[in-house]
Structure formats: C-alpha cells, structure tokens
Structure 1
Amino acid sequence: MRLGRYIIALLLLCVPPMAAQEFGVGQEVLWADYADPTTRYQHGVLGDAEEWGALVIRVNTCVGCAGLRIEKRKITLPDTRVFEDVTPRVIVLGANQQRAVMVVESDVSRGARLSLYDGAGLIDATPYIGQAFRWLAPIGAADLDGDGQVEIAYIDRPHLTKRLRLWRFSDGKLHHLADLDGLTNHRIGWPDIPGGVRSCGGAHEMITANADWSQVMATTYTDKGLTTRAVAPYTGKESLTRAMVCGD
C-alpha cells in the first residue's frame, strides 16, 4: 500500500476561544494525506490495486490570531470516484498565499482529472480526460511566467498521449493556457512521479522526459507560450531527480 505520508511537526499554542467561523473561511491549509484505501477502481497504474476513497486535510482556523488552532477536515468521495495518486500536494495558489491541496481524482467512467481542494471542499478541477483508466501525472505548480499568478502543469496520459497541459489559477478558477506534445514523466507501475518544477536563478522550469525516454527535458512558459529543450540524456528515473538540482 502506498503511504505517501508527509509528517509535519506542529507546536500547538492554546489561545482563547474565538467566535465560530464560517466553514472554509479564515482557514489555512497545513497538511494533507489520503485515507480509506479501496480496490473499487482496478487500474493499478501506480503498481498496486489500491487507491484512496478520502482526503484528510488539517487546517489552521486561527488565521490572524496568535498561535494555531488545528482542525481536521475529511473529504470522502462517492463510490464512483477515487484519488488515484501518489500523495496530496499542498500548494500556494497566488500572491495572497492561499493554500490548496492538489490531487489526482479519477472517475470510474470518465478517467482522471486534476482537482484543487481546501478544508471546505472542492475549489475547482480540470475536465475529466473522458474515458475510464486514463490518467494524468502532476508536474507541479509555480508562477512560471512571473506575473504573480500560479500555473499548474501535468502530463495528460503519460503512457499514451504524452502531452504537457498547463493551467492558470485566477479568479478562483482554473483556466487552460497551453499544451505541448512529446513529453512524459511516468511509466506504468512506478509508485512515484519523478521530475517536477525546479527554480534556478529566479526562473522556473518543468522537468520531464521526452516521449521516447531518451532525453531529460526542461520546459518553460512565457507570454510566447511553451518552449522545451534537452538538458541531459535520460539514463533512468534518477536522471530526472538529478535534473531538479540547479546547475545540472
């Protein structure tokens, strides 16, 4: 069973009780993990038969006051969906430092989509791929073009289509920006997704492999669109990990 656990040590500081807050308002996402393992979606793209039926998010409801008040939110999916993922990723969505949890969520008839959650539930999601057992592999999230808004990237069907898709989060929604074919970041059975977004000298690059797994690629996004270049020969999964280090 994939664990995909992040352990964060938190010092809990007691503060006087506050007035009740509206659910989802004034909450800071701190940590997330999957729960409720299930075998109801028999895809196995990550090397085992188990996926996840729920997402647990810990939030700080003491935003703007001294200390932390940590509460747990559990988001349970209906029986027609699972989290088909390695681990939930806590990301920052923009200049206001709003945090969200980025996950891969799959539907039994429509395949995968990339979804953003907070303690109140779903914020927004990309469209489902549209067919069962079709998956996507996240690359990461960053302000790729320096405009103050966050872009989110993934590989659509890394074993078949091998297409990088890029979305921007603005005005509370995900907006599609650009696609680039010929890139991938996962092989069937791998329990992890290597590569990601590296930040070197103030510039952000998305690290993947090319479609035939011969080269490690670095892809950038500007107002002119997506451009990619080879940075090293692909010699195995570890070559993607090495490329995440600046200077390589």
Structure 2
Amino acid sequence: MQSLVFKLAQSKLKLKKPTRVFVKQSGQELIDEKDWKDNIRNDAVLLVSIGEEFVGVKKEMIIHEDINPSCPVEVLASNAPIESLSVAQLTTTAHTLPGIIHAVGQPDLHPGTKFPIGAVFASKKWIHPPLIGGDIGCGMAWFQLSLSRSQVDGDKGKKVAEKLRGLEGPWRTKELRELWLQDKDGSCSAGEQWDSSLGTIGAGNHFAEIQVVENSASDLDNGLREDDVVLLVHSG
C-alpha cells in the first residue's frame, strides 16, 4: 500500500522523493503494516511529504462576546520606521482578542508570527499568554556533534537532515506529558491547545540547524574548533 501511495504521489503530485505518509484526521504517521491496516478507511485522507512533519489543520476561530472592535490603538514611533505588517498585527490583535481595552506599539514594534512584537496590550478579565510568549522566553543552545565536515558538506548535509525523524512531533505520549506537567497536588492545567507544543522548538523564527565552524577564536574557551559540526537551536 505504501509503495502505491508513493508512486501516485510522484506521478500525480510531482513529488520527487516522497518518504512519509500521515493521516490528516489524526496526524498519525503510517510507518508499519499495522499502521496502514488500522487507519486506512474509505473516508481517510492521506498527506504525503518528502520529510516534513505533520503540522496540523487550521482550526476555526472562536468569536467571543468580549471582543472590542473599537479598541483604541496607538503607535509610539513617530520618527522610527515601522513595517505596515506590524501595525496591521497590532490593530488586528486589539480588535479581535477578547478583553483588550487599549493597545500601544512601542518604537521597536515589528511583526511576529501572528501577534506583533514590541507592543503593550491592556486587557480586562482576560489573560493572553501568546502575547507574552511572542516577546520573551526564547533560548539559544549549541550541541557539538560527532559528524565530520566531510559528512555534511554540499548536498550531504541535506541527506543527513532527511534521515532525522520526530523532531517536530509532540514530546513522548500524552500520558507522559501530563505526568511531567503535574504539580504537587497531581493536577495538570495544561490544555489540549498547548499540549502538542510541548517538546517542540516553537513556531515563528525558531530553528534547529546543523552548522560548520568556519573560524574559531583562539582566546575563547568554548571547546569549538575549525571544521567542527554543531547543532544550533533557537527555541521558545
């Protein structure tokens, strides 16, 4: 069955090298014969990729009665260049998130993935964690790999990346995630909306890259040497 799906993807979808198949309804990857038998039905929709992870389907927006379409919006940047997209995000956020009563764009206002960065929102009765998460909480880390430069030079690096699996999927199983998030009273307050984000690097400008050290400062005791291969991660 898998080989047939790959052949159809190559001929109909023009995918040069399909490698993975997911069930759209659940996001489960079909790997072995049991997966195919358990999930293939007449109404099943399959997603074929050349290595990309399943990122989910778009959810319908919930409209709340506390939305304030006339919420005042200000930008404190009369002399600083501001991208029009960031102003649009500022206005859209102020007029569509429930409870927002005032929105202000700071001089460093710039676009985010969905919500603007460098903005202040005053809200009544509502707390919106994504507005904070867009501005703080990011982290950077590098990890030295056992790979050599010759193994990742040119197109070889792409081949190494294509072999990696599970980097963007949810961390472990749902039961283990809930166990890890439990407080001392055994309560887990993390909702399903955020459950699938646990263990990922996050959205937006976050990344995980395999890099090669071109130059290493001799006066820095960081353990890095020229031609070392490292994994650099920006997460949040």
Q: TM-score, normalised by structure 1?
A: 0.22
More helix by share: 2
Structure number with bigger Rg: 2
Q: Which has the higher strand share?
A: 1
